[in-house]
Amino acid sequence: MDGVLHQVNEIPLSIYPQIVSRIKIISKLNVAEKRLPQDGRIRVKIGNKELDMRVSTLPTVFGERIVIRLLDKSNKVLTLEELGFSEEDKYKYEKMINKPYGLILITGPTGSGKSTTLYASLIRIKKPTKNIITIEDPVEYQIDGISQIQVNPQINLTFANGLRSILRQDPDIIMVGEIRDLETAEIVIRASMTGHLVLSTLHTNDAPSSVARLVDMGVEPFLLASSLEGIVAQRLVRKICSNCKSEKKLTDLEYQEIKKYYPEILENFDIKHLYYGEGCEECLGTGYKGRIAIYEIMEIDEDIRGLIAKNVNTSLLKENAIKKGMKLLIQDGISKVVKGITTLEEVLQVAKV
């Protein structure tokens, strides 16, 4: 729930193999193969809800472990306003996605809401006059007016191969689920330099380190410098349950933590109290309900382009981005703590630097 594991039930070991076999059968996996990891999917309808279930099996010392990821097709895709952007960051991000061409990267670990941000971005910029094509693995939500392609490695429909074909369809905007290898990275960069707006994701800890990640893959720094328009790093933090939200006096330790990471906020706000969830039936005693994103937006201007082309180290890039007004993940998190949206403990756990 909201990114934290809770034990709900326990399956007796005596019937566990039968349950594993049943799940493998309905997700069209090889029941006899117990030594190799497998991936499958199940589509089910419960009431009027359509669920897409992604099944992943993994052999362990004590038998197979199964993880099922639930995608609720009836869930509506969030808008940019609902994601958690501050007014200032939303303005910066909208300016980026409305550019006619260039590369915009959304970065963060698995499960940090990158796809949700991408879908919200596509909904914001889609128009009948724009040809938008996406290539994803998997296609999580279907959006009207956008052509979406599902990657299928078994028939050699990879990100790189799919992208080559997409470029022959004369798209205005391309969304690539993830940059996984040099081949994909090179096609993405070439597309962004030939008049296409490309949105994609990458697994990195913060915005500036995305540059080093791509250079490590083998991308030429000067190509990266001329194609990048912006990098957005994000994480998800749990929101305080609105039903049992209470306030408490700011402790000296909390004051020191805020001062360490975001001293400017103490100059602008006279913070006396912080909020927390007491725990109630609605949030199952956790004090949290729902999640919101915290962001770090790095705009690429001429100075930063020059640094990327020179292949300077990440800390120098970060230093310059901060001078240009980039707010760090932890700082965006602290501003949400001050507004009573989440707790300091949650932010420090998710975004400690």
**CA 302, CA 308: separation in Å to the nearest integer?**
10
CB 62, CB 17: distance < 8 Å: no
Query: How does the average pLDDT of the chain come out, rounded?
Result: 93
Three-class SS of 95-144? HHHCCCCEEEEEECCCCCCHHHHHHHHHHHHCCCCCCEEEEECCCCCCCC
Side-chain half-sphere of 65: how many Cα atoms within 13 Å?
6
Q: Residue 222: enclosing H or E segment and its boundaries?
A: helix 221-227
Q: Residue 194: enclosing H or E segment and its boundaries?
A: none
pLDDT > 80? residue 95: yes
- Model confidence over 337-347: pLDDT tens digits? 999 999 999 99
**CA 267, CA 289: separation in Å to the nearest integer?**
30
3-state secondary structure of 328: coil
Contacts of 337 (CB under 8 A, 6+ apart): 258, 274, 343, 344, 347
Contacts of 110 (CB under 8 A, 6+ apart): 203
Mean pLDDT, rounded, for 113-131: 94
Dihedral sign for Cα 102, 108, 109, 112, please. Answer: negative
* pLDDT band for position 165 (cuts 50, 70, 90): very high
pLDDT > 70? residue 84: yes
**CA 146, CA 104: separation in Å to the nearest integer?**
18
Checking DSSP bridges between strand 273-277 and strand 245-249, what pairing results, if any?
A: antiparallel
pTM of the model as a whole: 0.89
pLDDT > 70? residue 353: no
**CA 203, CA 109: separation in Å to the nearest integer?**
5
